[in-house]
Amino acid sequence: MDISVVVPLYNEAESLPELFSWIKRVMEANGYTYEVIFVNDGSTDGSVSVIKEMAEANPEIRLISFARNYGKSPALNEGFRKAQGDVVITMDADLQDSPDEIPDLYRMITEEGYDLVSGWKKKRYDPLSKTLPTKLFNATARKVSGIRNLHDFNCGLKAYRKNVVKSIEVYGDMHRYIPYLAKNAGYKKIGEKVVQHQARKYGVTKFGLDRFVNGYLDLGTLWFQSKFGLKPMHIFGLLGSAMFAIGFIAVLVVLILKIVSICSPFYEFYVTNSVYFYLSLAAMVMGLQFFLTGFIGELIARNSVERNNYSIAEEF
Ligand code: UDP
Ligand code: MG
């Protein structure tokens, strides 16, 4: 199979028929063998019955239906697990991404050797309250991830070589950083393609302003994981050692001052009046805490956590 299109959706019933017939038109015009995997993320608006109805006449349609709303990342993750195509293309369900981009994206993966091609909504049809913070956010993501050539990390329209989606785990809200996940998994040829963008035709956006706060927190987590995820002691041990060193020096200072004060008739030194005494106390306690955190981190790193365990109501 040439292409799997993975479409995460949450209450997008009105858009689905238009989206599918558009995808189908493009696929048939180019002679691709394909499947469209709709991942219903707990919709309550009848999206599932729309998909089922379309599936009766179209065997290319597959459905994964979550029992409740888990988020876009889990939806993509399950779609990735199920995808069979050599190239996997993700696309939002709201008709903001254009299926007409599929042939170019497919070519960039199969002929130009890209592992991942991310869409770039160079001209956006979204409110300023969204586009402005997004610029800032992308600048940070570029810096932290070291992927300098991407302008639009979170574009819903992306294409992947099959191995890429099979070797990354998208959980939490990490869909914003899939290029970074791919890079950390060892896929280096990451490209970008300017894509058409439309204003949302039906329905409303499913993300509020908290997306930016959460986005930054996740970026911090990812950075930490890629640096120290498998070796937490390297950072906590370092911080702990530094604290112990500071504490040790402070204790020495206290000791020396005390000895001087005992030997000298002119100089009085009270340990509990000394700033060095409190410094040594604080530093030692913090040092110990860093080390304990490091040990616990090491234990957790060695026991893989099951993050992706979603209850799926039905699938075909
Ligand atoms: N989505 C989802 N689960 C969620 C939120 C969103 O599957 O919890 C889907 C949504 O239906 C759409 C895509 O993710 O297909 C992008 O969402 P949206 O268009 O609301 O985001 P925006 O374009 O405003 O960034
Ligand atoms: Mg949208």
What is the spatial distance between Cα 232 and Cα 145, in angstroms, rounded to a whole number? Answer: 19
Encoded amino acid at 203, one letter: G
Say what the pTM is.
Answer: 0.84
> Ligand 2 centre and the CA of 202: distance in Å?
10
pLDDT at 302 over 80: no
Instruction: Evaluate: CB of 64 within 6 angstroms of ligand 1.
Output: no
What is the spatial distance between Cα 162 and Cα 298, in angstroms, rounded to a whole number? Answer: 32
Q: Which pLDDT band, with edges at 50, 70 and 90, does 307 fall under?
A: low
Report which secondary-structure segment, H or E, holds 261: helix 233-263
pLDDT tens profile 79-123: 999 999 999 999 999 999 999 999 999 999 999 999 999 999 998
> Ligand 1 centre and the CA of 92: distance in Å?
7
> Ligand 2 centre and the CA of 199: distance in Å?
8
pLDDT at 256 over 80: yes
Residue 10 CA, closest ligand 1 atom number: 11
Mutate to test the pocket of ligand 1, among 94, 96, 126, 171 (most ligand atoms within 8 A of CB): 94
> Ligand 1 centre and the CA of 309: distance in Å?
20
- Among 72, 14, 22, residue whose Cα is nearest residue 42: 72
Q: Which residues pair with 315 in a beta bridge?
A: 64
What is the chain's Cα-based Rg? 26
12 burial via Cβ count (<10 Å: 0-12, 13-18, 19+) = buried
> Ligand 1 centre and the CA of 237: distance in Å?
41
**Helix, strand or coil, per DSSP, at residue 105:** helix
Instruction: Evaluate: CB of 181 within 6 angstroms of ligand 1.
Output: no
Residue nearest to atom 21 of ligand 1 (CA): 205
Instruction: Evaluate: CB of 41 within 6 angstroms of ligand 1.
Output: yes
Residue 39 CA, closest ligand 1 atom number: 7
Instruction: Evaluate: CB of 207 within 6 angstroms of ligand 1.
Output: yes
What is the spatial distance between Cα 174 and Cα 172, in angstroms, rounded to a whole number? Answer: 6
Instruction: Evaluate: CB of 214 within 6 angstroms of ligand 1.
Output: no
Q: Which pLDDT band, with edges at 50, 70 and 90, does 10 fall under?
A: very high
Instruction: Evaluate: CB of 42 within 6 angstroms of ligand 1.
Output: no
Instruction: Evaluate: CB of 97 within 6 angstroms of ligand 1.
Output: no
> Ligand 1 centre and the CA of 136: distance in Å?
21
Mean per-residue pLDDT over the chain, rounded:
93
> Ligand 1 centre and the CA of 314: distance in Å?
21
Say what the pLDDT of residue 310 is. 79
pLDDT tens profile 113-169: 999 999 999 988 888 888 888 888 999 999 999 999 999 999 999 999 999 999 999
Asked if 308 and 74 touch (Cβ cutoff 8 Å), the reply is: yes
> Ligand 1 centre and the CA of 61: distance in Å?
20
Sign of CA dihedral 97, 98, 101, 106: positive
Average pLDDT score over residue span 274-284: 95
Instruction: Evaluate: CB of 69 within 6 angstroms of ligand 1.
Output: yes
Instruction: Evaluate: CB of 72 within 6 angstroms of ligand 1.
Output: yes
Q: Which residue has the tokens 């020396």?
A: 256
Encoded amino acid at 114, one letter: Y
Report which secondary-structure segment, H or E, holds 258: helix 233-263
What is the spatial distance between Cα 18 and Cα 93, in angstroms, rounded to a whole number? Answer: 10
Q: DSSP readout, 275-293?
A: HHHHHHHHHHHHHHHHHHH
